[in-house]
Amino acid sequence: MTEAALVRVEGLSKTFTNRQGLLGYVLRQKRRSSEAVKNVSFSIAKGKTFALVGESGSGKSTIARMVVGLLPPSGGNVLIDGIAMHGADLAHARQGLTHRIQMVFQDPYASLNPRWRVDAIVSEPILALRRETNRQAIAQRVAELLTLVGLHPADAQKYPHEFSGGQRQRIAIARALASDADFIVCDEPTSALDVSVQAQILNLMRDLQDRLGLTYLFISHNLAVVRYVADEIGVLYKGELVERGDGAAIFDHPQHAYTRQLIAAVPNVDALRREAATLADDRPTRARAEFP
């Protein structure tokens, strides 16, 4: 895997020192520092998906923010196509990377500017990068992107509030793709969605990966979702990567006690379905004839 790695995370660490905000002052909190991420390493091959799972507060979002360069690490580094994301060197080379990395945030309601029309939202990365200045060409590209994510070109004229949660998440994905990004970090992209919309988004992400060779870092606390999307999974526990492997290894032969605990905690419908499969079919004749 290493030879074709697009993303290499090497010994990444982050220690937060709590500043005494107003609330902390009022409540007389003690100043303390916490190690949110401890010496985490992994790599993602081009065109593959690496997923991070772990309980709330285990450091998933902190890693994501360091990977995309939004947060400086306390130690270690992130290399994308061999270029270090952090540190004084290579600042110039890093410039060329920004358009290749995009992030889809958990909450599609908060991450889209409600006053901007969809075309403004989607074309923003194109304009920012000055990749294209011709208005018609930009409109054309926006229409293409909207179609690609299963929306209608006419949706470009609408505002975010005119869309459902799942449609908004597609707008966020269209924007991520507008920049010609080939590496996309998704932080809980489907947690707020119901299962039917979730299936649409996950299938779309996989289609795009197949067609465009995208590389994903995918964060979720839904283990079944992770099993579906990931080529490799990393289990985070209190800031440490305690286990790594493909879906079969993690789910069928978990090594770490925490991984086993995590899997056991998932409320599961599979057992119920299996049970039902063994029962006789008592559906009305018409329906039985029509449903496979």
Partner 1 sequence: MREPVLSVRGLSVAFPTRRGSLTALNDLSFEIGKGEVLGIIGESGAGKSVTGSAVIGLLSPGRITAGEIRLGGLRIDGLDDRAMRRIRGKRIGMIFQDPLTSLNPLLRIEDQLVETILTHLNLTPDQARIRAIQLLDELGIPNPAQQIKSYPHEFSGGMRQRVVIALAICGEPDLIIADEPTTALDVSVQAQIIHLIKRICKERSTSVMLITHDMGVIAEVADRVAVIYAGRIIEQGTVANVVARPQHPYTQGLMSAIPPLERRPERLTQISGSMPRLTAIPPGCSFHPRCGFAFDRCQKDVPRLQGGDDRAVACHLYDEVVS
Q: What Å distances lie between residue 210 and 15, 115, 215, CA to CA? A: 37, 34, 10
Choose which of 16, 116, 159, 228 interacts with ligand ATP (CB under 6 A): 16
Mark residue 11 as left, alpha or beta (left: phi above 0; alpha: psi -120 to 50; beta: remaining).
Answer: left
Among 22, 88, 91, 269, binds partner 1 (CB under 8 A): 269
Contact 13, 35 (CB under 8 A): yes
Q: Which is nearer to partner 1, 180 or 194 (CB)?
A: 194
Q: Would you mind telling me the total number of residues written for the chain in this entry?
A: 292
Distance CA 52, CA 191 (A): 14
Query: Token pair of 98, please?
Result: 């920004």
Per DSSP, the residues of 100-118 read: GEEEE-S-TTTSS-TTS-H
Compute the Cα dihedral for 62, 63, 68, 69 and give only its sign: positive
Q: How far is the CB of 100 from partner 1 (least distance, A)?
A: 27
Residue type, 45: A
60-79 positions binding ligand ATP, by CB under 6 A = 60-62
Which of residues 102 and 198 has its CB atom nearest to partner 1 in the complex?
198
**Binds 59: which of ligand ATP, partner 1, Mg ion, none (CB < 5-8 Å by kind):** ligand ATP
> Which DSSP letter does residue 96 get?
T
When the beta carbons of 49 and 179 are compared against partner 1, the nearer one is 49
By the rule CB under 8 A, 139 interacts with partner 1: no
Closest CB to ligand ATP among residues 58, 209 = 58
Q: Does 195 bind partner 1 (CB under 8 A)?
A: yes
**How far out from the chain centre does Cα 234 lie?**
14
Q: Which residue ranges make up the site for partner 1 (CB under 8 A)?
A: 23, 27, 55-57, 164-167, 191-200, 202-203, 206, 221-225, 227-228, 247-248, 251, 261-263, 265-273, 275-277, 279, 283-287, 290-291
Q: Catalog residues that contact ligand ATP under the rule CB under 6 A.
A: 16, 18, 34, 36, 54, 56-62, 221
